[in-house]
A and B are shown apart, each in its own frame.
Chain A
Amino acid sequence: MINHEVVSELENIVGEKYVSDEPEITYLYHYDFVTAEPEGKCDIAIMPNSAEEVQEIIKIANKYKIPVVPWVSGINFGSIATPRRGGIVIDMRRMNRILEVNEDDMYVVIEGGVTWADLQGFLNRNHPDLMAGVTYSPPGTGVVPSCLCYGMFNLGMLGGTGAEFVNGIEAVLGSGDLVRVGSCSLSDYWYGRQPLPDLAGLFIGWEGTTGVVTKMAIKLWPKLPYRTDFLPIAQTVEEGVPLMLKLSKAGLGIIDLCVINLGWGQSLMCLDQNNVANDPVELGLPDFLGLISTQAYTEKQHIAQCEAIRDICKEFNLDPLTIKEQMESFPENIQGLMGDLTPSTGGQAPIQFWGCWNFSRGGGGQWIGSYVSTRNIIKYYNLSREICLKYNKPPQFYSRLLFGGHYCVARTNINFNKNDPEDIKTARKILNEIHEATQQLDGVVMYKPPLWAVQYYKDKTNPDTTKLIENIKKLVDPNNIMNPGQGIGGD
Chain B
Amino acid sequence: MSKEGAIEYLEGKGITKLTTVANQQELDRNKNLEYYKDIFYQCGKCGTCRTAYQEEGWFRMCPSGDFGKFEAFYLGGKNLLTWAISSETLKWTEKLANIFYQCSLCLACTQQCQIPEIHNFAGEWLMAMREEAVKLGFGPMPEQAKYSEHVMKENNPYMEKHAERLNWLPSHIKQTPDAKLAYFVGCTSSYREQGVAIATAEILNSLQIDFRILKEEKCCSSPVYMTGQAEKAKKIAEKNVKAYKDAGIEKIITSCAGCYRTWKETYPNKFGIEHGIEIVHLPELLLDKLSSGELKINDNKTPMKITYHDPCHIGRHMGIYEQPREVLRKIPGIELIEMDRNRHNAWCCGSGGGVRSAFNELSSFAANERIEEAKETTAEAIISCCPFCLNQFKNNIKNNEIQALDLSELVKRVL
Check A139–B19 contact: CB distance below 8 A: no
Beyond the given A24-B81, A27-B84, A339-B1, please list 5 additional residue pairs across the A-B interface where CB-CB is below 8 A.
A23-B90, A25-B71, A73-B46, A93-B69, A354-B44
Check B6–A336 contact: CB distance below 8 A: yes
8 A-B pairs closest in CB distance: A140-B47, A336-B6, A121-B58, A138-B46, A337-B20, A272-B23, A363-B42, A117-B51
User: What residues on A are CB-neighbors of B77 within 8 Å?
Assistant: 28
* A-B contacts, 12 listed (Cβ < 8 Å): A18-B69, A25-B72, A28-B77, A28-B81, A34-B46, A73-B45, A74-B71, A115-B47, A139-B51, A139-B53, A272-B22, A340-B54
Which of the 9-residue segments B93-101, B124-132, B143-151, B395-403 touches chain A? B93-101
* In the assembled complex, B215 has its CB within 8 A of some CB on chain A: no
Which of the 9-residue segments A148-156, A327-335, A476-484 touches chain B? A327-335
* In the assembled complex, B291 has its CB within 8 A of some CB on chain A: no
User: What residues on B are CB-neighbors of A20 within 8 Å?
Assistant: 70
Check B114–A27 contact: CB distance below 8 A: no
Q: Which of A22, A139, A332, A355 has the most CB of B within 10 A?
A: A139
Contact with A75, one of B5, B23, B45, B53 (Cβ below 8 angstroms): B45
User: What residues on A are CB-neighbors of B51 within 8 Å?
Assistant: 115, 117-118, 121, 139-140
Contact residues of B between 36 and 80, Cβ < 8 Å to A = 38, 41-51, 53-59, 69-72, 76-77, 80
Contact residues of A between 331 and 364, Cβ < 8 Å to B = 332-337, 339-340, 346-348, 351-355, 357-358, 361-363
Q: How far is the CA of A337 from the CA of B2 in the complex (A)?
A: 9
Nearest neighbor of B69 in chain A, beta-carbon distance: A47
Contact with B5, one of A18, A24, A120, A336 (Cβ below 8 angstroms): A336
* In the assembled complex, A56 has its CB within 8 A of some CB on chain B: no
Known: A117-B50, A139-B51, A348-B55. Is A336-B2 also a contact (CB below 8 A)? yes
Contact with B along A57-88 (1 / 0, CB 8 A): 00000000000000001110000000000000
* In the assembled complex, B21 has its CB within 8 A of some CB on chain A: yes
Check B19–A333 contact: CB distance below 8 A: yes
Check A362–B71 contact: CB distance below 8 A: no
* In the assembled complex, A124 has its CB within 8 A of some CB on chain B: yes
* In the assembled complex, B301 has its CB within 8 A of some CB on chain A: no
Known: A24-B90, A45-B70. Is A270-B46 also a contact (CB below 8 A)? no
Q: How far is the CA of A121 from the CA of B54 in the complex (A)?
A: 10
Shortest beta-carbon distance from B181 to chain A in Å: 41
Shortest beta-carbon distance from A13 to chain B in Å: 15
Chain B residue total in the interface (Cβ 8 A): 52
Q: Which of B42, B76, B117 has the most CB of A within 10 A?
A: B42
Q: Which of B21, B43, B89 has the most CB of A within 10 A?
A: B21
Check B115–A346 contact: CB distance below 8 A: no
Q: How far is the CA of A47 from the CA of B21 in the complex (A)?
A: 36
Contact with A24, one of B20, B38, B57, B72 (Cβ below 8 angstroms): B72
* In the assembled complex, B3 has its CB within 8 A of some CB on chain A: yes
* In the assembled complex, A274 has its CB within 8 A of some CB on chain B: yes
Q: Residues on A close to B: CB < 8 A?
A: 17-18, 20, 22-25, 27-29, 32-34, 45, 47, 73-75, 91, 93-94, 115, 117-118, 120-121, 124-125, 137-141, 269-272, 274-275, 332-337, 339-340, 346-348, 351-355, 357-358, 361-363, 365, 418-419
Q: How far is the CA of A413 from the CA of B90 in the complex (A)?
A: 30
Known: A117-B50, A362-B42, A418-B41. Is A339-B3 also a contact (CB below 8 A)? yes
User: What residues on B are CB-neighbors of A336 within 8 Å?
Assistant: 1-3, 5-6, 19-20
Contact with B47, one of A24, A73, A334 (Cβ below 8 angstroms): A73
Q: How far is the CA of A94 from the CA of B115 in the complex (A)?
A: 26
Q: How far is the CA of A353 from the CA of B58 in the complex (A)?
A: 13
Nearest neighbor of B99 in chain A, beta-carbon distance: A24
Shortest beta-carbon distance from B280 to chain A in Å: 33
User: What residues on A are CB-neighbors of B6 within 8 Å?
Assistant: 335-337, 339
Contact with B48, one of A32, A139, A334, A348 (Cβ below 8 angstroms): A139
Q: How far is the CA of A339 from the CA of B3 in the complex (A)?
A: 7
* In the assembled complex, B116 has its CB within 8 A of some CB on chain A: yes
Shortest beta-carbon distance from A127 to chain B in Å: 12
Shortest beta-carbon distance from A197 to chain B in Å: 36
Contact residues of B between 1 and 31, Cβ < 8 Å to A = 1-3, 5-6, 18-23, 25
Q: Which of B3, B43, B49, B116 has the most CB of A within 10 A?
A: B3
User: What residues on B are CB-neighbors of A348 within 8 Å?
Assistant: 54-56
Q: Which of B42, B46, B81, B114 has the most CB of A within 10 A?
A: B46
User: What residues on B are CB-neighbors of A32 within 8 Å?
Assistant: 44-45
Contact with B23, one of A139, A140, A274 (Cβ below 8 angstroms): A274
User: What residues on A are CB-neighbors of B46 within 8 Å?
Assistant: 34, 73, 75, 137-138, 140-141, 354
Check B45–A28 contact: CB distance below 8 A: yes
Q: How far is the CA of A18 from the CA of B42 in the complex (A)?
A: 28
Shortest beta-carbon distance from A248 to chain B in Å: 28
User: What residues on B are CB-neighbors of A269 within 8 Å?
Assistant: 20-22
Q: How far is the CA of A27 from the CA of B87 in the complex (A)?
A: 13
Q: How far is the CA of A156 from the CA of B87 in the complex (A)?
A: 42
Check B56–A419 contact: CB distance below 8 A: no
User: What residues on B are CB-neighbors of A354 within 8 Å?
Assistant: 44, 46, 48, 114-115
Shortest beta-carbon distance from A66 to chain B in Å: 19
Q: Which of A73, A93, A137, A358 has the most CB of B within 10 A?
A: A358
Nearest neighbor of B51 in chain A, beta-carbon distance: A117
Check B21–A270 contact: CB distance below 8 A: yes
User: What residues on B are CB-neighbors of A347 within 8 Å?
Assistant: 3, 54
Q: Which of A24, A33, A94 has the most CB of B within 10 A?
A: A24
Q: How far is the CA of A117 from the CA of B53 in the complex (A)?
A: 9
Check A357–B44 contact: CB distance below 8 A: yes
User: What residues on A are CB-neighbors of B54 within 8 Å?
Assistant: 340, 347-348, 351-352
Contact with B116, one of A34, A93, A117, A270 (Cβ below 8 angstroms): A270
User: What residues on A are CB-neighbors of B70 within 8 Å?
Assistant: 20, 25, 28, 45, 47, 91
Check B58–A117 contact: CB distance below 8 A: yes
User: What residues on A are CB-neighbors of B58 within 8 Å?
Assistant: 117-118, 120-121, 124, 139
Nearest neighbor of B45 in chain A, beta-carbon distance: A33
Nearest neighbor of A118 in chain B, beta-carbon distance: B58
Q: How far is the CA of A35 from the CA of B1 in the complex (A)?
A: 33
Check B23–A29 contact: CB distance below 8 A: no
Check A337–B48 contact: CB distance below 8 A: no
Check B55–A28 contact: CB distance below 8 A: no
Q: How far is the CA of A357 from the CA of B48 in the complex (A)?
A: 14
Known: A118-B58, A138-B48, A270-B116. Is A346-B2 also a contact (CB below 8 A)? yes
Contact with A27, one of B19, B41, B90, B116 (Cβ below 8 angstroms): B90
User: What residues on A are CB-neighbors of B81 within 8 Å?
Assistant: 24, 27-28
